[in-house]
């Protein structure tokens, strides 16, 4: 890992030094996997399964995957599930296990949300890329997905007029609106974060 860190431009920006002279193969491995997060997460889980003397499907905690006949479709489904797991854990760690809006740290109420929606994200570079994620509580996740809130270029929360005009009691409105223009809790890798701008 120390060899591969030599080629990471994000670490270089932060003046984090690694081995001064990585090998040609280190450069090739870094180039291959840094542009394909989905494959990286899948290969990592294959290694993990092998080290634990398990089959890859045993790593995936999903009922029904074993019901799919072996073949290309099943492997693609496993890659997708592993990628989703990798994305959630990576985003969770990036935001220090707390909602980036409220600071809530109750994990069963939090969701790793894609900034650029999953269905229009690039499978290789965006599906599992942490910089395409926010860690949000369930309410703010739904509001974000529906465009009722967004994050500006300077990491501040904007709230749509649709929320302001929605029917709700005064205390709930006051609570929701109290986040307007507040800065989110920043991820550790703030420079790589993509933003959905209104």
Instruction: Walk along the chain (198 residues) in steps of 10 and give the mean pLDDT of each run.
Output: 66 63 73 73 83 78 64 76 83 93 94 88 80 93 94 93 89 93 84 43
What pLDDT does residue 192 have? 45
Largest CA distance in the chain: 62
What pLDDT does residue 83 have? 79
CA 19 – CA 7 distance, rounded (Å)? 10
Under DSSP, the state recorded for 121 is: S
The token duo for 75 is 């492997």
What is the number of other CB atoms lying within 10 angstroms of the CB of residue 17? 10
What pLDDT does residue 156 have? 95
What pLDDT does residue 112 have? 93
CA 46 – CA 150 distance, rounded (Å)? 37
Q: Which residues pair with 112 in a beta bridge?
A: 135
Q: CB under 8 Å to 152, separation ≥6 — which residues?
A: 158, 195, 197, 198
91 CA to centre of own chain: 4
What pLDDT does residue 60 have? 65
The model scores a pTM over 0.85: no
What pLDDT does residue 63 have? 58
Question: How is the chain split into domains, by residue range?
Answer: 35-192
Q: CB under 8 Å to 93, separation ≥6 — which residues?
A: 188
Parallel/antiparallel/unpaired status of strands 133-137 and 149-151: unpaired
What pLDDT does residue 191 have? 42
């Amino acid at each position: 890992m120390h060899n591969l860190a030599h080629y990471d431009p994000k670490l270089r920006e932060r003046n984090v030094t690694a081995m001064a002279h990585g090998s040609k193969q280190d450069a090739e491995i870094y180039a291959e996997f840094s542009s394909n997060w989905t494959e990286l997460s899948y290969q990592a889980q294959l290694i993990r399964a092998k080290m634990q003397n398990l089959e890859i499907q045993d790593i995936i905690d999903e009922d029904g995957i074993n019901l799919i006949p072996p073949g290309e479709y099943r492997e693609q489904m496993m890659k997708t599930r592993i990628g989703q797991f990798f994305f959630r854990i990576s985003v969770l760690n990036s935001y220090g296990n707390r909602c980036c809006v409220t600071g809530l740290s109750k994990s069963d109420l939090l969701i790793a949300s894609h900034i650029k929606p999953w269905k229009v994200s690039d499978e290789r570079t965006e599906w599992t890329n942490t910089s395409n994620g926010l860690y949000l509580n369930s309410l703010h996740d739904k509001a974000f997905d529906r465009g009722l809130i967004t994050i500006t270029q300077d990491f501040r929360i904007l709230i749509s007029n649709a929320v302001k005009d929605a029917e709700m009691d005064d205390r709930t409105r006051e609570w929701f609106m109290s986040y307007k223009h507040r800065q989110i809790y920043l991820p550790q890798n703030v420079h790589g974060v993509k933003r959905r701008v209104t």
